[in-house]
Structure 1
Amino acid sequence: MRLRQLAWRATYELLGARVRRPEWAFMNYGYAPVDPAGAPLVLDAADEVDRYCVQLYAHVLDGVEVAGADVLEVGSGRGGGASWVSRSLGPRSTTGVDFAASAVSLSRRDRTGPGLRFVQGDAQALPFADESFDVVVNVESSHCYADMEAFVAQVHRVLRPGGAFVWADLRTAADVGTTRAQLTSSGLVAVEHRDITAEVLHALRLDDARKTELVREWIPRPFQRALRPFAGLEGTRNPEGFAAGTLRYLSARLERPA
């Protein structure tokens, strides 16, 4: 697990150092309802190009009181999600933390929003005081961590009593039960568990042509083949695993007891 974590760190540092385009704000797979009901999520014109990625944040935060809250995103990547939260949902403050120094540098340079800041730090040793946040967000990042239970213990520590932890990520079908147990391992109480594989796979398919073109335009040619699986493009391992049922995409909302 430690070697895998080091490999992910090296990958994200390389991406941040070599691909510094401000237009690349998100790295998640996205979310698109298979059978939409009701009005679509209203977005600013500048966010529309990243609609599916933004919709994944909107999904995990649905039902959470963000207005006036202190929000932490763990694994904030290139900063698009934290920026959208700060600009759109009315929190008092939004903090993004990421282990990749290059990603933090990009986020500080390119992302704006009221009360928004970015900090370098480790998800398994968060650099914040106890009970600092009302909401903790973790989107498509925890599969990189060497110790999921250590991460959840840190979330419990930095959450205020009554605070919410929202999470989304992919796992093998065999690991679903273990992952759900890990999410409650430090005393957080599950409010909702969902399997959103169909919605994530739908988003990947809808956004495939755009992402394929961006890989061609933005990624240096020697790295393009390696980035295709990272981006979840058609024909690569993860979309095929979602379609076959061997890989699942999960979301959850948990609370720290008051």
Structure 2
Amino acid sequence: MAEPMESERSAADGMRAPVRETYGPADLSSVPVFAGGFINFGYWQAIDLTGPLSVADRVRSQQDLYRHVLGSAAPVEGRRMLEVGCGLGVGCALALWEYAPAHLTGMDIHPQQLERARQANAALLEAGPARMRFVRGAAERMPFGDGEFDRVYSVEAAQHFDDLDAFAREAARVLRPGGRVVVASFFTPDDAPGHGARLAELLDSYASGLDIARPFASLTEAFTAAGLTGVRATSIGPGVWQGWDRWLSDQWKPGTWPRNFLAAYRQGILDYYVITATRPRS
């Protein structure tokens, strides 16, 4: 699938229309499938999928995806961290409480999401404003100085980014020498022709342009081109897709488009990856 055209973006806010509308007035975090406000598919590796799933299981799956990402960024204690595409900031709060960074910045392109993040985390912001903040910015144009962060991470947002090359350059720029970037998102497993068209047939999020079909190598290669080293991509699909589909099964019938994420994975046209890279010290 081609990169988004300039005409698809709003001149006023820099967002593509599907992103602006999906995360705008209708709060996606209020939808029952995203219980807890994290807005991710979840990492279900430690959850029993054989019996009924509770809301607590669903919330834990989303928390565990953050824990998996933050574990890949370790050590983070005492570091300055940036989350790209922070949404409601509940992942920022988890990172702050469980991993003790020195400071955490949540960045999102959507002003309504940032307003919700500030409301959801009002107590944390008031109790310790020196430890956390929320800033508006795009993944491709980060409003930060060079070398400002020890860790940059992003959880299930990169499928929306307009330009992975620009994101990689910005991540490398804002990282300090020795710093690490970790991205969790879903990509095609290769660049074979037809993946984008097939995903658009199966999944409304691709048909609408909300999600962009690109191979995971488009990000690993972008990190390498940006000067990052130790670039690694690991599939965690087995821990994501089955649990996500099992959770959806109580609310969506087989054959409805959200259930097709598992079908796309089984057909070998979509998978979920954690991608890591490091800025060299010299």
Quote the sequence identity (%): 28
Aligned equivalents of 1:17, 1:193: Cα separation in 2? 28
Q: Judging changes above 3 Å, is the alpha-carbon distance between structure 1 residues 70 and 49 closer, same or farther for their aligned structure 2 residues?
A: same
1:253 paired residue number:
276
Residue 42 of structure 2 corresponds to which residue in structure 1?
A: 30
**Which residue does the alignment assign to 2:207?**
none
Evaluate the alpha carbon distance shift between residue 177 and residue 121 of structure 1 in structure 2; reply closer, same or farther with a 3 A threshold. Answer: closer
Q: What SS is found at the alignment partner of 2:41?
A: coil
**2:84 maps to which residue?**
74
Partner residue in 2 for 1:59: 68
Which of 158-167 and 240-249 deviates more? 240-249
Gaps of 5+ in 2: 10-15, 49-54, 192-214
The residue aligned with 2:212 is none
Equivalent in the alignment of 1:220: none
Contact 2:24–2:110, Cα closer than 8 Å, also in 1: yes
1:99 is matched by which residue type in structure 2? Answer: I
- 1:209-236 deviations in Å (ceiling 9; x for gaps): 57x39xxxxxxxxxxxxxx85xxx4x2x
Instruction: Select the residue among 23, 26, 29 that pairs with 1:12.
Output: 23
- The aligned counterpart of 1:100 is 110
The structure 2 residue matched to 1:192, chosen from 210, 215, 232, is 232
1:224 — aligned with what? none
Deviation digits for residues 38-80 of structure 1 (CA, Å, limit 9, x no counterpart): xxxxxxxx98751111111111222511100111000001211
Q: TM-score, normalised by structure 1?
A: 0.79
Q: 2:266 aligns with which of 200, 218, 243?
A: 243
Aligned-residue Cα RMSD (Å) equals 2.9
How far did residue 142 of structure 1 move? 1.1
Q: 1:110 aligns with which of 109, 120, 127?
A: 120
Distance 2:39 2:29 in 1: 15
3-state secondary structure, aligned to 2:135 = strand
Cα deviation, 1:23-46, whole Å, max 9, x if unaligned, reads: 64211111122799xxxxxxxxx9
Task: Please state how far the C-alpha of 1:8 moved relative to its aligned partner.
Answer: 1.6
Distance 1:105 1:166, change over 3 A: same
What is the aligned residue count?
229
Cα 1:184–1:26, aligned 2, differ >3 Å: closer, same or farther?
same
Moved over 4 A (4+): 17-24, 46-49
Do the aligned partners of 1:60 and 1:253 also contact (CA within 8 Å) in 2? no
Matched, 1:139 2:155: yes
Which amino acid letter does the alignment assign opposite residue 197 of structure 1?
A: G
State the structure with bigger RCO (CA 8 A, min sep 6), 1 or 2: 1
Contact residue 69 and residue 182 of structure 2 kept, 8 A: yes
**More displaced stretch, 11-20 vs 68-77:** 11-20
Q: 1:256–1:120: structure 2 CA closer, same or farther, 3 Å change rule? A: same
Distance (whole Å) between structure 1 residues aligned to residue 71 and residue 134 of structure 2: 23
1:168 and 1:109 map into 2 onto residues whose CA distance is 25
2:88 and 2:120 map into 1 onto residues whose CA distance is: 9
**2:123 is the counterpart of 1:83:** no
Q: Which amino acid aligns with 2:69?
A: V
Q: What TM-score do the two structures reach when normalised by structure 2? A: 0.72
Q: Which runs of 5+ in 1 are unaligned?
A: 37-45, 214-227
Q: Which has the higher helix share?
A: 1
Q: Deviations over 1:68-109 (max 9, x none)?
A: 011100000121111110111000111100011111000100
Match of 2:171 in 1: 155
Q: CA deviation at 1:180?
A: 2.1
